[in-house]
Amino acid sequence: MTISFEAQLASAKWTFSTRRVDRTMAAGMDTAFAKARPGDLILAHVSEIGQHRRVQLSSGRHSDIYPGDAVVLACGARYAPDQFEGFAEILPEGADLLAGGGCIGRMVARNERIKSATRLIPAGRLLRADGAALNLDEFSVRVSARGDRIPVIAVFGTAMNSGKTVATAQLALGLRRAGWRVAALKGTGTGAFGDFNEYQDTGAHVVADFTDAGMVSTYREPLERIRAGIDRLLAHAEDAGCEIAVLEIADGLFQRETAQLLADPAFQRRISGLVFACGDAVAAAGGVAEMRRRGVVPDALTGMLSCSPMASAEAREATGIPVLGKNDLSDPAEANAFALRAGAEWWSAA
C-alpha cells in the first residue's frame, strides 16, 4: 500500500522547532539533501534509538519515539558540551537527532558520558508548491516595531546548566510581579521547549526564542543573522506592548556565538542590564574578568553558586559584584530596581 505524502505528514510527529510552520504549505519533497541548509524542514524516520528516546512535540509535550516513527524536524547545527556538537548536514544514508526539540544534522562530537545520537533516515526535504525548500525562516514572527526601544537585561553564563534559564525566568517573574509588561526571550541556542515553557510559567507577557526568528539553532550562524534575530524578537516584544525584556544568551562565554555577541559593540550598546550565572566562585571570577576584558560588567551574579552562602561570599569578595539567588530575582523590589536602572518606562502611567 502506498501512503500519500499528505498522509505521511499528517501522521508524522512535528517537533517543537516546527511549531510555527503552516503545514499546508508543504506541497512535496525531494531528496536533494546535499542542498539542505539550516532551517530546511526534513521528514525522517527513526532508525535506531540512542541518546534521545523521545522528541518534543509542537504541542508542547514529549512523545516517546520508536523505530519507524515519522518525524518532521529542521536541519540545523548544535553546540551542547553536555551532549553533542553537530553540523547542519544531512547524509542520505542517515542523520542524527541532535536535539529533542527537533534538530536533525550530523553529529561530529559527543560528551563521553552520553550515548550516541538517535539515528534517523531522512525521507525527504519538504518543498513548497513552487519547488523551493520549506524553511523555518519563512515562518518567523511578523513585526512592525524596530525593536530598538525596549530596555534589555541580558543573562549570560559560564556554561550550560549554570543557571541562566532559572535566572531569566525568575527575573521575568519578578518584573511581572512589579507590574511591568515583560518579555522573556532566548536569543541563542538550539530549539527546545524546556526553557520556553519555563519562561511561560512565569506569566511573562511575551515568550519567544530564536525559532520564532526563523532559526532552529544559532550555532554557526553569522553574527549579523543572530543580531537580526534578536532584534526581531525585541520588535515582537515591543509590538505586544512590553516595557522590558529579559534575554538569555546560551552556553558559556567562550562559545563561538556568545563570545561574538559579548564582544560586539552594537550588542553591548543595546543591553541595559547584565546578569551573569555561574556555577562556582572561581568560574565567577574568571567570567567577570573575561567580561571586563570585553568592556562589560555584570550588575549581579547568580546561578548555582547562589545556592551556597560560602560560594556567594567568595564570589562577592573576588568580583565586588552582588550575588542574587532565584528568590531575589523573582522579588518584585529587586526586579523593579533592575527595571529602573535599565531605564524602563512605565507606560501605564502615561
Partner 1 sequence: MEREFETPTADSIVERISIATQAGPLAAFVIRPRRMAPSRPLVVLHGISRNARALVRHFRAEAEHSGRLIVLPHFTMAHWPHFQRPGHPARADQALVELLNRLAVRFPDCAGRVDLVGHSGGAQLAHRTAMLYPQRIARLSLVAAGWYCLPDMSMPYPYGLGESDARGAALWIRRKQACLAAYLGLEIRVYVGTRDTLRDPALRVSPALDERQGRNRHDRARSYVEAVRAAAFSQGKVADIALIELPGCGHDFEQAITEVGLARIVTETPDMTLVLAAAG
Residues engaged in binding partner 1 (CB under 8 A): 177-179, 322, 328, 331-334, 336-338, 340-341, 346, 348-350
Between 248 and 328, name the residue whose CB sits nearer to partner 1: 328
> Shortest gap between Cβ of 54 and partner 1 (angstroms)?
34
Q: How far is the CB of 344 from partner 1 (least distance, A)?
A: 8
CB of 340 to partner 1, least distance (A): 5
Cβ-proximal residues to 222 (8 Å cutoff; 6+ apart), any chain:
none
Q: What is the DSSP letter of 23?
A: G
Cell numbers found for residue 286:
574568571
Q: Which is nearer to partner 1, 146 or 341 (CB)?
A: 341
State the nearest-atom distance from the C-beta of 179 to partner 1, in Å.
Answer: 5
Helix 281-294 with 256-263: angle, nearest 10 deg: 50
DSSP bridge partners of 274: 154
Yes or no: say if 77 and 105 are a contact pair by the CB < 8 Å rule. Answer: yes
| CA–CA separation, 131 and 160 (whole Å) | 39
User: What is the number of alpha carbons within 13 Å of residue 226 lying toward its C-beta?
Assistant: 25
92 CA to centre of own chain? 28
Q: How far is the CB of 206 from partner 1 (least distance, A)?
A: 17
> What's the grid cell of residue 290?
573575561
Comparing CB distances to partner 1, the nearer of 286 and 332 is 332
Question: Strands 119-127 and 28-30, how do they pair?
Answer: antiparallel
Instruction: Give min distance, CB of 347 to partner 1, in A.
Output: 9
CA atoms within 13 A on the CB side of 206: 27
- 193 versus 338: smaller Cβ distance to partner 1: 338
Locate all alpha helices (DSSP H) within the chain, ordered by sequence: 5-11, 164-177, 193-200, 223-239, 256-263, 265-270, 281-294, 309-319, 326-329, 332-341
**Is 133 or 245 the residue whose CB approaches partner 1 more closely?**
245
Report helix, strand or coil for 280: coil
In the bound state with partner 1, the residue whose beta carbon lies nearer, of 250 and 324, is 324
Q: Which is nearer to partner 1, 254 or 346 (CB)?
A: 346
d(CA 136, CA 74): 8
Name the minimum Å distance from CB 103 to partner 1: 37
